[in-house]
């Protein structure tokens, strides 16, 4: 199995559509006549200007509440609009060169899912679509409104493959597979070859949080999984002043890159925004530098590029703060414009060095608060120096085994001519291209 070639250059801009267009939470909810899904089109030029090459959509299929309680996988959520609205968004994204990634929930369904309603009515064939324990329908992680599918039922296999093929046929380019960690790998290993038989250029990423990522990819036949280990290590290392944790995670990351390229991120719709997660605002830049100078398929969650705040809470409605409605596009002098410009610069840097897609990292200097690593691929290398300390960080390239280099980016450090020794200011960073 090989990953589609286009993914080598993929950088995703992720949105949560129901929140983005103000469809959930909303009282009363909008109807299909409002065609709110089309509001996304107004933001596609922003995605292009950011430097993204793809639009990663959260749930767009019919559901009762937050989108992950699907009631009909073949129908656009009426709060968002209809099939024509979906087709319009996909066409406009493709016209701008943006790929489209859909979010599919195939571990569980909502309580209004037709087969579940039939099962409650006594239909045995429908009841076989769901897992049971002690005479009751199993639910997902204690959520009574999320009914767990029976992944050993061949009808569920064929249904899932049919849904995925349907929307790929309508123009989608790939799938994020929600709660993939809760689904047996053997299920995906049956579904994905069916889908790939007609859509060999599609990309599939599984939502996996813990465990042996490489083994999961091999057993499931995913192209990729979500790199939660690295996400946690980034903000935790920056908050605790413990670069040893980040280095450990990056060495694990190197191992993953030997067999697949993970989807990397510092924020998404399920976690506290990175600007809120960090205890020192000066270190937001460090998090972004790490994301864009290490191997992976980066994803930027809408709003993070302006440094938006938002804390996830473990309660009903606890995701709302990180899934807000977006109105008009901010102007060039809007709050967070500097964060946006840094995103654009670092994404541009990554595009100029496409080998970063599968680059591995090597530590050159490592203390709790100062870290220099070399990120290298077949076609080049960059040296990244991160300083969380109150004292400057001296970087002497010959002492690190390198002759010289050019500073291509950094805080309070404009690009320089070829240098051998330089200094990273307190709580600053530099990116150096070796010569």
For residue range 83-113, what is the model confidence (pLDDT) as tens digits?
A: 999 999 999 999 999 999 999 999 999 999 9
Tens-digit pLDDT profile for residues 120-164: 999 999 999 999 999 999 999 999 999 999 999 999 999 999 999
Report the Cα–Cα distance between both ends of the chain, in Å, rounded.
36
**What average pLDDT does the segment 197-220 reach?**
97
82 CB burial (10 A radius; 0-12, 13-18, 19+):
middle
Which whole number is the average pLDDT over 212-238? 98
pLDDT of residue 332: 87
Q: Are residues 320 and 192 in the same domain?
A: yes
**Residue 325 shares a structural domain with residue 411:** no
Mark which of 358, 393, 426 sits at the end of a domain.
358
CB 166 within 8 A of CB 139: no
Does 365 lie in the same domain as 254? no
CATH classification at residue 378 = 2.60.40.1180
pLDDT tens digits for 44-70? 999 999 999 999 999 999 999 999 999
Residue 317's pLDDT is what?
86
Q: CA-to-CA distance for 189 and 195, rounded, in angstroms?
A: 11
Instruction: For the beta carbon of residue 294, count every other beta carbon within 10 angstroms.
Output: 27
Q: How confident is the model at residue 294 (pLDDT cuts 50, 70, 90)?
A: very high
* CATH, residue 293: 3.20.20.80
Inform me whether the pLDDT recorded for 212 exceeds 80: yes
Considering its fold, how many domains does the chain have in total? 2
Give the chain's radius of gyration (CA, Å): 22
Whether residues 179 and 290 share a domain: the answer is yes
Q: Are residues 249 and 369 in the same domain?
A: no
Does the pLDDT value for residue 301 go beyond 90? yes
* Per-residue pLDDT at 1: 58
- Across the range 377-387, mean pLDDT stands at 97
E strands in 106-207: 108-110, 132-133, 136-137, 139-140, 143-148, 174-178, 203-206
In angstroms, the Cα distances linking 128 to 5, 21, 117, 155 are 39, 37, 13, 9
Domain final residue, candidates 304, 339, 358: 358
- What phi and psi, each to the nearest 5 degrees, are found at residue 261? -110, 115
Whether 270 and 318 map to the same domain: the answer is: yes
For strands 263-265 and 297-301, give the pairing.
parallel
Domain that holds residue 368: 361-434
For residues 153 and 47, membership in a common domain is answered with yes
Written as six digits, the tokens of 369 are 């608060």
Q: Are residues 224 and 286 in the same domain?
A: yes
Predicted confidence at residue 73, as pLDDT, reads 98
Instruction: Specify whether 387 is located in the same domain as 293.
Output: no
pLDDT tens digits, residue range 162-189? 999 999 999 999 999 999 999 999 999 9
pTM of the complete model: 0.96
Distance CA 278, CA 284 (A): 7
Tally the residues of the chain: 435
pLDDT exceeds 80 at position 2: no
User: Of all residues in the chain, what percent are helix, strand and coil, respectively (each to 5)?
Assistant: 40, 25, 40
- The angle formed by the CA atoms of residues 222, 70 and 93, to the nearest 5 degrees, is 65
Mean pLDDT throughout 333-353? 96
φ, ψ (nearest 5 deg) of residue 289: -60, -45
Q: How does 31-60 read in b/e, with b if 16+ C-beta sit within 10 Å? A: ebebbbbbbbbebbebbbebbbbbbbbbbb
Predicted local distance difference test score (pLDDT) of residue 400? 96
- pLDDT of 173 reads 98
Instruction: Give the whole-angstrom CA distance, residue 189 versus residue 178.
Output: 16
Q: Where are the alpha helices (DSSP H) in 44-181?
A: 44-50, 83-95, 114-120, 124-127, 154-169
CA dist., res. 244 & res. 304, Å (int): 26
Mean pLDDT of the chain, nearest integer:
96
Task: Tell me the C-alpha distance between 261 and 255, whole Å.
Answer: 10
Q: Where are the beta strands (DSSP E) in 322-424?
A: 360-366, 370-377, 380-387, 393-396, 405-410, 421-424
């Amino acid at each position: 199995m090989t990953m589609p070639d286009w993914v080598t250059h993929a950088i995703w801009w992720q949105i949560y559509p129901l929140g983005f267009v103000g469809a959930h939470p909303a009282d009363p909810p909008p109807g299909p006549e409002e065609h709110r899904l089309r509001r996304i089109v107004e933001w596609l030029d922003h995605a292009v200007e950011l430097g993204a090459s793809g639009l990663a959509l959260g749930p767009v299929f019919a559901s009762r509440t937050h989108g992950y309680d699907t009631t009909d996988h073949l129908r656009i959520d009426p709060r968002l609009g209809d099939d024509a609205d979906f087709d319009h968004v996909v066409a406009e994204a493709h016209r701008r060169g943006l790929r489209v990634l859909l979010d599919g929930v195939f571990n569980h369904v909502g309580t209004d899912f037709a087969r579940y309603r039939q099962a409650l009515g006594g239909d045995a064939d429908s009841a076989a679509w769901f897992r049971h324990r002690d005479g009751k329908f199993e639910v997902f992680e204690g959520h009574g409104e999320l009914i767990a599918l029976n992944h050993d039922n061949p009808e569920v296999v064929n249904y899932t493959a049919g849904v995925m093929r349907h929307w790929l046929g309508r123009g989608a380019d790939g799938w994020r597979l929600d709660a993939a960690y809760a689904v047996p790998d053997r299920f995906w290993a049956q579904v994905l070859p069916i889908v790939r038989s007609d859509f060999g250029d599609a990309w599939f990423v599984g939502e996996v949080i813990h465990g042996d990522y490489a083994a999961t990819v091999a057993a499931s036949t995913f192209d990729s999984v979500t790199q939660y280990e690295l996400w946690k290590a980034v903000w935790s290392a920056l908050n605790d002043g413990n670069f040893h944790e980040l280095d450990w995670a990056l060495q694990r990351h190197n191992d993953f890159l030997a067999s697949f390229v993970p989807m990397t991120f510092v924020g998404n719709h399920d976690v506290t925004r990175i600007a809120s997660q960090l205890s020192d605002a000066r270190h937001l830049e460090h998090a972004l530098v790490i994301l864009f100078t290490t191997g992976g398929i980066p994803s930027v969650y809408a709003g993070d590029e302006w440094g938006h705040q938002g804390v996830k809470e473990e309660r009903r409605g606890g995701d709302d703060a990180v899934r807000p409605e977006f109105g008009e596009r901010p102007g060039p002098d809007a709050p967070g414009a500097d964060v946006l410009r840094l995103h654009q610069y670092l994404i541009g840097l990554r595009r100029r060095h496409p080998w970063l897609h599968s680059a591995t990292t090597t530590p050159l200097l490592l203390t709790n608060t100062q870290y220099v690593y070399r990120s290298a691929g077949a076609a080049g290398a960059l040296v990244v120096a991160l300083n969380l300390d109150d004292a400057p960080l001296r970087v002497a390239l010959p002492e690190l085994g390198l002759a010289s280099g050019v500073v291509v980016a950094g805080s309070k450090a404009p690009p320089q001519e070829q240098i051998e020794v330089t200094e990273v200011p307190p709580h600053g960073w530099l990116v150096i291209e070796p010569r």
